[in-house]
Each structure stands twice: as structure tokens, then as C-alpha cells.
Amino acid sequence: MGSVGDLQNYIVSILSSMIRINSENPPGREDEIASYVAERLAELGLKAWIDRFQGRANALGSIKVGEGKKIMLISHLDTVPAGEKELWSIPPFSGTVKDGRVYGRGAADAKGCIASMLGCLKSLADEGWPINGEIIFAAVADEESENRGVRRLISQGIKANCAVVGEPTNLNVCIAHKGSIFLRASFIGKAAHSCQPERGVNAVYAASEYALRIEKLSKRFRIEHKLLGKPSLAVTILRGGVKDNVIPDYCELIINRRTLPNEDLES
């Protein structure tokens, strides 16, 4: 069995390496990082493979010792975009270790989770796998968009008796989760030159008024969940306009509704 320091170095090294592999979503480029994770799983003695589908990739592994129950360790390979890289104080794909922290896009969400889970597997491997059952490891694609990776697992019938889901919770154990619904609202106006706005119908104005109505509506929720609090409703994207001197004839809003377990779609 290695020391705690050795295990920490292992986890930090893996996390830094994964951060240096860009897996921003969009566009979703999980193949390289899936290969990296699968290699680490194989090194630890798991049966490891990469499932490629629809231009995406899941990294999977399993080890069975005894006839006990199955547990799944699952997290995701993709990250949200890094945004304007020059605004980062530390380059987002550097995996820099500084003052006891690892910095970069995905360090928390959720490459740190994958590295920690690999560290857990290494501890078990070093002890000769003192388990009775099967461990399934899944590092999936597209969590930040349409959950294609998890949908793929479901379609393949990959199941477990329980699962540990790697997400940045500040080490709090979370046993419930809000659902998510995305809506698109489109607004059609009439184009005109910006020097004569009265000749057109500004679609951005119409969308903005609707966005403010959504804000008011979001404050009216009365239902509440004992763990998750209230549901939420928010405008997250407003897109409109084609040129700085043209009254926009089209605008769209993306609206995100977060639901509670005790809600249904009709309500």
C-alpha cells in the first residue's frame, strides 16, 4: 500500500494531465480524454474500453471480485467552454499546481471528480481489491449539453445497484437533484435601417419585455423541496441582431426551468 502522499501525487498528476486535454462542450471533444482515462483504468487492472458513438466517446471500465452487488462510479469528461482565455489569471488548459490547488477549466467540474475516483480505484488495487462485487467506472460525454453519454449507457443496459456521481458539491453528499427543461422563444420583427427605427419592428425589444416578464414570474414559485429549495426559472441566452445599423427582425430567448422531484411536466 502506498502512502497518502503518493496517492495525492497520483491524483494531482492525473488531474493536471486531464486539464491539459481540451474537452470543451460545445463542440464536445471527448475522444482524446476518453483514451487517457481508459489507459489509466487498464493500468489499474480493470477491463477498460472506449465506446465511440455519434462523434462522442465514453470511457468505461469494470472489475468483478465476488458475487456481491454492483456499484457505479460515474462522472463526465466534457467541460463548459473556458470563455475569454486572456481573462484567466492562470491559463485554463495549463493544469497549474499552485499553493496546494490545481487550476484550469474542469478542475472542479468534473475532472477533479474523475481523478479522485481513479485515486479510489488505485487504493483498492494496491490492497488487492478487497471487495465482494463489481465496480463499474463510467466517464461519460456530453453532460454539459444533452447528456448523450448517460443516454448511451441507458440504451446499452448498463446498470448498477447504486452509484456515486462525481460533481463539485464541496464534499457534501447530495441525494436529490433538480430536473432541467430548456425552452426557446422566438420573436419576429421587421428589419429597417437604424436611422429610421420607426419603419421597423425591433424584435430585441419584444424579447426583452418578455424576458422581464419571465423574471417576475420566477419570483412567484411557492412550492419548495426540503433539500433542493424552490424551483427556478431564468433567461440564460438572448440572441438577436445581424448588424449594428440594422433594426433586428429576429430575436430568440433560451429559458431554463429547473424542476423539483415532486413536480410533473403538466404542472
Residues 28 and 157 in one domain: yes
231: closest CA among 220, 242, 239?
220
Residues 155 and 197 in one domain: no
Give pLDDT < 50 ranges for the chain. Answer: none
Dihedral of CA 74/78/81/82: which sign?
A: positive
Beta-carbon contacts of 213 under 8 Å, excluding residues fewer than 6 positions away, are: none
Q: What is the CATH number of the domain that holds 134?
A: 3.40.630.10
78: closest CA among 29, 137, 146?
29
Residue type, 265: L
State residue 4's pLDDT score: 86
Residues 136 and 86 in one domain: yes
State residue 114's pLDDT score: 99
Could you give the residue ranges of the DSSP H alpha helices within 63-110?
A: none
- Catalytic residue check, 142: no
Q: pTM higher than 0.95, yes or no?
A: no
Beta-carbon contacts of 58 under 8 Å, excluding residues fewer than 6 positions away, are: 30, 34, 50, 51, 77, 138, 139, 140, 141, 149, 152, 153
Q: Which domain holds residue 82?
A: 4-165
Which residues does residue 50 pair with via DSSP β-bridges, in sequence order? 59
Catalytic residue selected from 31, 51, 78, 144: 78
- Catalytic residue check, 109: no
State residue 1's pLDDT score: 58
Distances (CA, A) of 220 to 70, 109, 191: 43, 31, 35
Which residues does residue 259 pair with via DSSP β-bridges, in sequence order? 179
User: Residue 251: helix, strand or coil by DSSP?
Assistant: strand
DSSP 260: P
Q: Which of 165, 191, 212 is the last residue of a domain?
A: 165
Number of structural domains found in the chain: 2
Residue 65 lies in a domain: yes
Q: Which of 108, 130, 165 is the last residue of a domain?
A: 165
Residue 119 lies in a domain: yes
Q: Which three cell numbers stand for residue 203?
A: 424584435
Catalytic residue selected from 24, 143, 144, 249: 143
Are 23 and 30 in contact by the 8 Å Cβ rule? The answer is: yes
